[in-house]
Protein backbone atom coordinates (compact mmCIF):
# COMPACT_ATOMS: atom_id res chain seq x y z
CA UNK A 1 0.00 0.00 0.00
CA UNK A 2 1.02 3.59 -0.40
CA UNK A 3 2.49 5.14 2.71
CA UNK A 4 0.87 7.96 4.70
CA UNK A 5 2.33 10.52 2.29
CA UNK A 6 0.91 8.78 -0.78
CA UNK A 7 4.22 7.36 -1.97
CA UNK A 8 4.13 3.83 -3.36
CA UNK A 9 6.01 1.27 -1.30
CA UNK A 10 6.30 -1.17 -4.21
CA UNK A 11 6.98 -0.54 -7.88
CA UNK A 12 6.99 -2.67 -11.03
CA UNK A 13 8.88 -1.14 -13.96
CA UNK A 14 8.02 -2.68 -17.33
CA UNK A 15 11.02 -1.67 -19.37
CA UNK A 16 13.39 -2.05 -16.45
CA UNK A 17 16.38 -0.74 -18.42
CA UNK A 18 14.58 2.37 -19.70
CA UNK A 19 16.42 5.54 -18.70
CA UNK A 20 13.22 7.34 -17.77
CA UNK A 21 11.93 4.25 -15.95
CA UNK A 22 15.10 3.98 -13.89
CA UNK A 23 15.16 7.72 -13.18
CA UNK A 24 11.59 7.46 -11.92
CA UNK A 25 12.50 4.44 -9.77
CA UNK A 26 15.44 6.34 -8.26
CA UNK A 27 13.17 9.28 -7.44
CA UNK A 28 10.57 7.00 -5.86
CA UNK A 29 13.23 5.15 -3.83
CA UNK A 30 14.35 8.53 -2.48
CA UNK A 31 10.72 9.00 -1.37
CA UNK A 32 10.53 5.66 0.47
CA UNK A 33 9.65 3.11 -2.22
CA UNK A 34 11.37 -0.02 -0.92
CA UNK A 35 10.40 -2.87 -3.24
CA UNK A 36 11.19 -2.63 -6.95
CA UNK A 37 10.65 -5.20 -9.67
CA UNK A 38 12.44 -4.52 -12.96
CA UNK A 39 11.01 -6.34 -15.97
CA UNK A 40 13.00 -6.55 -19.20
CA UNK A 41 15.48 -8.83 -20.95
CA UNK A 42 17.48 -10.39 -18.10
CA UNK A 43 21.06 -9.90 -19.29
CA UNK A 44 20.55 -6.15 -19.46
CA UNK A 45 18.93 -5.90 -16.03
CA UNK A 46 21.90 -6.73 -13.80
CA UNK A 47 23.50 -3.29 -13.80
CA UNK A 48 20.14 -1.53 -13.46
CA UNK A 49 19.15 -3.69 -10.50
CA UNK A 50 22.53 -3.21 -8.81
CA UNK A 51 22.28 0.57 -9.16
CA UNK A 52 18.88 0.59 -7.39
CA UNK A 53 20.02 -1.83 -4.70
CA UNK A 54 22.82 0.61 -3.88
CA UNK A 55 20.07 3.11 -2.98
CA UNK A 56 18.62 0.71 -0.42
CA UNK A 57 15.77 -0.89 -2.37
CA UNK A 58 14.89 -4.57 -2.46
CA UNK A 59 15.20 -5.16 -6.21
CA UNK A 60 14.31 -8.27 -8.15
CA UNK A 61 14.42 -8.86 -11.86
CA UNK A 62 11.69 -10.36 -13.99
CA UNK A 63 12.24 -11.76 -17.48
CA UNK A 64 9.95 -9.78 -19.80
CA UNK A 65 9.72 -9.44 -23.58
CA UNK A 66 7.14 -6.99 -24.90
CA UNK A 67 6.89 -9.01 -28.12
CA UNK A 68 6.12 -12.27 -26.29
CA UNK A 69 2.55 -11.34 -25.43
CA UNK A 70 1.63 -14.99 -24.79
CA UNK A 71 3.91 -14.92 -21.71
CA UNK A 72 2.67 -11.65 -20.20
CA UNK A 73 -0.15 -13.06 -18.09
CA UNK A 74 2.03 -15.77 -16.54
CA UNK A 75 5.15 -13.65 -15.94
CA UNK A 76 3.41 -10.55 -14.67
CA UNK A 77 0.95 -12.65 -12.69
CA UNK A 78 3.91 -14.11 -10.76
CA UNK A 79 4.99 -10.60 -9.76
CA UNK A 80 1.55 -9.81 -8.35
CA UNK A 81 1.39 -13.24 -6.67
CA UNK A 82 4.55 -12.35 -4.68
CA UNK A 83 2.79 -9.38 -3.08
CA UNK A 84 0.90 -6.19 -3.77
CA UNK A 85 2.22 -3.75 -6.34
CA UNK A 86 1.41 -0.12 -5.57
CA UNK A 87 2.53 1.28 -8.91
CA UNK A 88 3.17 -0.17 -12.34
CA UNK A 89 5.29 2.02 -14.61
CA UNK A 90 4.91 0.96 -18.25
CA UNK A 91 8.08 2.48 -19.69
CA UNK A 92 9.17 0.28 -22.57
CA UNK A 93 9.39 1.11 -26.24
CA UNK A 94 11.69 1.21 -29.22
CA UNK A 95 12.39 4.13 -31.51
CA UNK A 96 13.45 2.07 -34.49
CA UNK A 97 15.30 3.50 -37.47
CA UNK A 98 12.80 5.46 -39.57
CA UNK A 99 14.82 5.42 -42.80
CA UNK A 100 15.47 1.68 -42.59
CA UNK A 101 12.02 0.82 -41.29
CA UNK A 102 10.30 2.58 -44.22
CA UNK A 103 11.93 0.13 -46.60
CA UNK A 104 11.68 -2.88 -44.27
CA UNK A 105 8.04 -3.51 -43.31
CA UNK A 106 9.04 -6.33 -40.94
CA UNK A 107 11.21 -3.90 -38.95
CA UNK A 108 8.42 -1.30 -38.96
CA UNK A 109 5.95 -3.86 -37.65
CA UNK A 110 8.39 -4.77 -34.87
CA UNK A 111 8.36 -1.14 -33.69
CA UNK A 112 4.56 -1.08 -33.75
CA UNK A 113 4.25 -4.45 -32.01
CA UNK A 114 6.65 -3.49 -29.24
CA UNK A 115 5.26 -0.02 -28.61
CA UNK A 116 1.58 -0.77 -29.08
CA UNK A 117 0.66 -4.46 -29.05
CA UNK A 118 3.11 -5.30 -26.26
CA UNK A 119 1.88 -2.34 -24.22
CA UNK A 120 -1.78 -3.26 -24.75
CA UNK A 121 -1.11 -6.80 -23.54
CA UNK A 122 0.98 -5.79 -20.52
CA UNK A 123 -1.33 -2.89 -19.69
CA UNK A 124 -4.43 -5.09 -19.61
CA UNK A 125 -2.71 -7.77 -17.53
CA UNK A 126 -1.50 -5.20 -14.99
CA UNK A 127 -4.81 -3.31 -14.86
CA UNK A 128 -6.60 -6.56 -14.13
CA UNK A 129 -4.12 -7.45 -11.39
CA UNK A 130 -4.38 -4.00 -9.83
CA UNK A 131 -8.16 -4.25 -9.90
CA UNK A 132 -8.03 -7.70 -8.27
CA UNK A 133 -5.78 -6.47 -5.44
CA UNK A 134 -8.05 -3.46 -4.96
CA UNK A 135 -5.51 -0.64 -5.21
CA UNK A 136 -2.59 0.68 -7.19
CA UNK A 137 -1.65 2.94 -10.06
CA UNK A 138 -0.82 2.20 -13.67
CA UNK A 139 1.39 4.86 -15.21
CA UNK A 140 1.88 4.63 -18.97
CA UNK A 141 4.76 6.60 -20.46
CA UNK A 142 4.33 7.63 -24.04
CA UNK A 143 5.92 10.29 -26.22
CA UNK A 144 5.18 13.69 -27.62
CA UNK A 145 5.76 11.97 -31.00
CA UNK A 146 2.29 10.47 -30.57
CA UNK A 147 0.72 13.94 -30.64
CA UNK A 148 1.46 14.70 -34.30
CA UNK A 149 2.93 12.58 -37.07
CA UNK A 150 6.32 13.87 -38.18
CA UNK A 151 8.22 12.85 -41.27
CA UNK A 152 11.29 12.00 -39.20
CA UNK A 153 9.58 9.38 -37.02
CA UNK A 154 6.02 8.69 -38.14
CA UNK A 155 6.28 4.91 -37.58
CA UNK A 156 7.30 5.38 -33.96
CA UNK A 157 4.89 8.29 -33.54
CA UNK A 158 1.93 6.33 -34.85
CA UNK A 159 2.62 3.51 -32.40
CA UNK A 160 2.72 6.01 -29.52
CA UNK A 161 -0.52 7.66 -30.76
CA UNK A 162 -2.16 4.25 -30.55
CA UNK A 163 -0.72 3.76 -27.07
CA UNK A 164 -2.11 7.13 -25.98
CA UNK A 165 -5.60 6.23 -27.21
CA UNK A 166 -5.39 2.85 -25.49
CA UNK A 167 -4.24 4.38 -22.18
CA UNK A 168 -7.01 6.98 -22.28
CA UNK A 169 -9.62 4.28 -22.88
CA UNK A 170 -8.19 1.98 -20.21
CA UNK A 171 -8.09 4.87 -17.75
CA UNK A 172 -11.71 5.71 -18.46
CA UNK A 173 -12.67 2.08 -17.97
CA UNK A 174 -10.73 1.83 -14.74
CA UNK A 175 -12.16 5.09 -13.42
CA UNK A 176 -15.68 3.92 -14.24
CA UNK A 177 -15.02 0.67 -12.39
CA UNK A 178 -13.05 2.40 -9.64
CA UNK A 179 -10.22 -0.09 -10.08
CA UNK A 180 -7.12 2.09 -9.89
CA UNK A 181 -5.74 5.52 -10.38
CA UNK A 182 -3.99 6.01 -13.67
CA UNK A 183 -1.73 8.29 -15.65
CA UNK A 184 -0.64 8.38 -19.24
CA UNK A 185 1.33 10.39 -21.72
CA UNK A 186 4.58 12.31 -21.77
CA UNK A 187 3.77 14.11 -18.54
CA UNK A 188 1.16 16.52 -19.86
CA UNK A 189 -1.85 14.39 -18.98
CA UNK A 190 -2.57 12.71 -15.69
CA UNK A 191 -5.68 11.74 -13.80
CA UNK A 192 -5.87 10.49 -10.27
Query: What beta strand segments (E) does 4-153 contain?
Result: 10-14, 35-40, 58-63, 87-90, 137-140
Instruction: In whole angstroms, give the CA distance from residue 79 to residue 125.
Output: 11
pLDDT in tens, 96-122: 999 999 999 999 999 999 999 999 999
Domains and CATH numbers, the chain: 10-187 (3.40.50.720)
**Residue 156 annotated to the active site:** yes
* The pLDDT value given to residue 43: 86
pLDDT in tens, 154-191: 999 999 999 999 999 998 888 766 444 444 444 333 33
Assign residue 105 a region (left: φ > 0; alpha: ψ between -120 and 50; beta: otherwise): alpha
Q: Which of 156, 166, 182, 184 is catalytic?
A: 156
Amino acid sequence: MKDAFGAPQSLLVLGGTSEIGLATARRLIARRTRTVRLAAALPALTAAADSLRALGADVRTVPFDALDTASHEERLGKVFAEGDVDMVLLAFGVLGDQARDESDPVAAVRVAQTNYTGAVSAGLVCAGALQAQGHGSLVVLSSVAGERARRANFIYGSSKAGLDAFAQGLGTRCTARACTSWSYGPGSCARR
